[in-house]
Structure 1
Amino acid sequence: MKRLLAISDIHGDLKKFERLLKLVQYNSENDQLLLLGDYVDRGLESKQVIDKVIELKKDGAIALIGNHEKMMMDAFQGDPMSLKRWYYNGGIKTLQNYGYDIAKDDAKFWYTTEEMPDLIEMNEEIKEHIQFLHELPYYYETDTHIFVHAGVHPTTLLHETDQHTLVWIREEFHQGYAGPKTVIFGHTPTKYLHNSPEVYFGKNNIIGIDGGCAYGGRLNCLEVESLKIIYVE
């Protein structure tokens, strides 16, 4: 039986990601890798992380979408507000990683101003990656577990849940979930769940694994069956 390994919220930190895969001795023949989204933004190597995810997916990994990938895709749909939202959530670093020159590269500025950015065109590299992101599912379910980026709605059937909810939900899920399956999720750094970088084991059958890598924290890997945690700082 293959080990189930779950990792979430890499946020452009390729070095930590590769160190973690090496530390857990990941082998696609023996392991099923589950990547729970947020590959991009805030870190310096989002493009390279997506390249790595594409490579791992070809080798059998299951990759889900996160809210930052959703913002990245929405930013090119022709709505200045969607681009602005991505700018102030870390998208500027991602665009610079793809070779874009952003005149006002201050995320805080875009959060506070009424000004709207000029729309931008996809270059070939980013176009290929966005096509890949559009193919990613929003959740993965087994007989015993649900793997998802942000969480599930406590009272809505999983297959009927709005995609926005699956990549953005927080407190309503953290406090209200009472389903029979264990939900493994990222999105909310664990320090906000229990004031610690440690993996969060909630009383209501939920496990949060976002160690805050985007903010200089940990990148966690959870061995699902044994509940063993391997991490890099």
Structure 2
Amino acid sequence: MSRTLAIGDIHGGFKALQQAFERAEVTEKDKLIFLGDYVDGWSESSQIIEFLIEISEKQECIFIKGNHDVWCEDWLSFEQGPDIWLFNGGKSTVESYKDYSLEELENHLVFFQRMKPYHIDEQNRLFIHAGYSSMHGPEKEVYSSNYRWDRTLWETAVAMDSKLQKNSELYPKRLLLYSEIFIGHTPTLDIGMTTPANKANIWNLDTGAAFTGALSVMDIDTKEFWQSDPLPSLYPDEKGRNK
């Protein structure tokens, strides 16, 4: 039986991705939707991209582009990256690419360029890395960078009164546009949760893999999820993005 699985932010943690996939018993029949931020943090960013390219040739995959992926794409294009990127995990990504040929780098660049800003499925479920600010949805977003940077969508859902009904005039119009919204970008650790968090109709799958948390994979229909071990235990000699 095929499933549709959503995968949270990976941040260079290839061991975590492999472990989570093993625990979820992922097969080639499963459709995989990755929510972005594949790189920056732990030491295996380039290995993750290589793996994702390989599995995309075997099964249906959708790759959403995150803010860290934009930074890496720019670096692959121009061979230089901003200090803010290097400070936020980019150094480990650059190091992971040190033995790659120009042809291999070009192949990875093409992969980044083909990533989607967001995806809407047949059941009107939205998959986006961060969020959007327009009350008319991401299609009407003035600043496309919000797809990768916006936190207000998640902050709104977290701050909402759980008793607020959808037919209320106060219910955020942005949230009424989709049956469900799946995001990453803002670690659930920020609200004290180590597992995927549900607020209003948003599911946040960034469970802090870049820091002290785990990587999460979720069946979007059943909401069953699987997690890796916390990333620091898989990379005991590294800091990831922990300062």
TM-score (norm 1): 0.82
Mind listing any 5+ residue stretches in structure 1 that lack a counterpart? 101-121
Give the paired residue count: 208
1:78–1:58: structure 2 CA closer, same or farther, 3 Å change rule?
closer
1:198: Cα distance to partner? 1.8
Q: Counterparts of 1:24 and 1:50 in 2: how far apart (Å)?
A: 20
Q: Secondary structure at the match of 2:175?
A: coil
Picking from 196, 201, 225, the partner of 1:199 is 196
1:156–1:77: structure 2 CA closer, same or farther, 3 Å change rule?
farther
1:195–1:137: structure 2 CA closer, same or farther, 3 Å change rule?
same
1:84–1:123: structure 2 CA closer, same or farther, 3 Å change rule?
farther
Please show how residues 2-151 of structure 1 align to structure 2 within 5 Å.
2-29=2-29, 31-59=30-58, 60-75=60-75, 83-99=82-98, 123-142=102-121, 143-151=123-131
Q: Secondary structure at the match of 2:9?
A: coil
Aligned position for 2:209 = 213
Aligned residue type for 1:130: L
Q: Secondary structure at the match of 1:214?
A: coil
String of CA shifts for 1:12-51, please: whole Å, max 9, x gaps.
Answer: 111110111111111122x211111111111100000001
Contact 2:131–2:153, Cα closer than 8 Å, also in 1:
no
Contact 1:152–1:173, Cα closer than 8 Å, also in 2:
no
Q: Counterparts of 1:78 and 1:98 in 2: how far apart (Å)?
A: 14
Contact 1:154–1:173, Cα closer than 8 Å, also in 2:
no
Q: Counterparts of 2:188 and 2:127 in 1: how far apart (Å)?
A: 16
Aligned CA-pair RMSD: 2.1
1:78–1:48: structure 2 CA closer, same or farther, 3 Å change rule?
closer
Q: Secondary structure at the match of 1:197?
A: coil
Residue 157 (structure 2) pairs with residue 178 (structure 1): no
Aligned residue type for 1:165: N
Picking from 187, 190, 202, the partner of 1:189 is 187
Residue 220 (structure 2) pairs with residue 224 (structure 1): yes
Contact 1:190–1:197, Cα closer than 8 Å, also in 2:
yes
Q: Secondary structure at the match of 1:183?
A: strand
1:79: Cα distance to partner? 10
Q: Counterparts of 1:78 and 1:156 in 2: how far apart (Å)?
A: 35
Q: Counterparts of 1:52 and 1:44 in 2: how far apart (Å)?
A: 14
